[in-house]
Amino acid sequence: MDPSAVVAGFGVGVIVGLTGVGGGSLMTPLLISVFKLSPAVAIGTDLWFAALTKAGGAVAHHRLGHVDRRITGLLLAGSLPASVLTIAAMHFTGMSSGWSSALTLALGIALVLTALTVAFKPAWTRVALRLEQHLPHRHAPP
């Protein structure tokens, strides 16, 4: 067992617990830069880890009524087809250096967007409140 991987996992877990920022924005770059995994393996490893660790939290939040099913459905309507198509394209074309570059670029864009969102949260909150005023009133789920 590699103790540095355990320490890295613990550190990411603490940071995620304190900030709420997704572990992928921390763990995937760590797997690529420190542990020297290829982008595809780093992303796949992080996704598998996230799926296992988030399953319990997802069930708990669902039981407590903290899930907006409408928004969940809308998010799934976009992300599931995109995920399936991307995986299919990667499978049929093979994991080339082009895919590795595309994954690294996509990861970089996601990290920058995450950083901007967190850094400018007050501004995003003001925009969201303005948008909410112009949307038809919805009742919160029970």
Domains of the chain by residue range: 3-134
Is the pLDDT assigned to residue 49 strictly greater than 60? Answer: yes
Give 9-29 pLDDT, tens digit per residue: 888 878 777 766 667 777 888
**Residue 77's pLDDT is what?**
94
SS3 for 120?
Answer: coil
In the block, tokens 């039981």 appear at 63
**Residue 90's pLDDT is what?**
84
Percent pLDDT > 90 in the chain is 13
The b-or-e profile of 79-90 (16+ CB within 10 A means b, else e) is eeeeeeeeeeee
pLDDT band at 45 (very low <50, low <70, confident <90, very high): confident
pTM: 0.62
**Residue 64's pLDDT is what?**
93
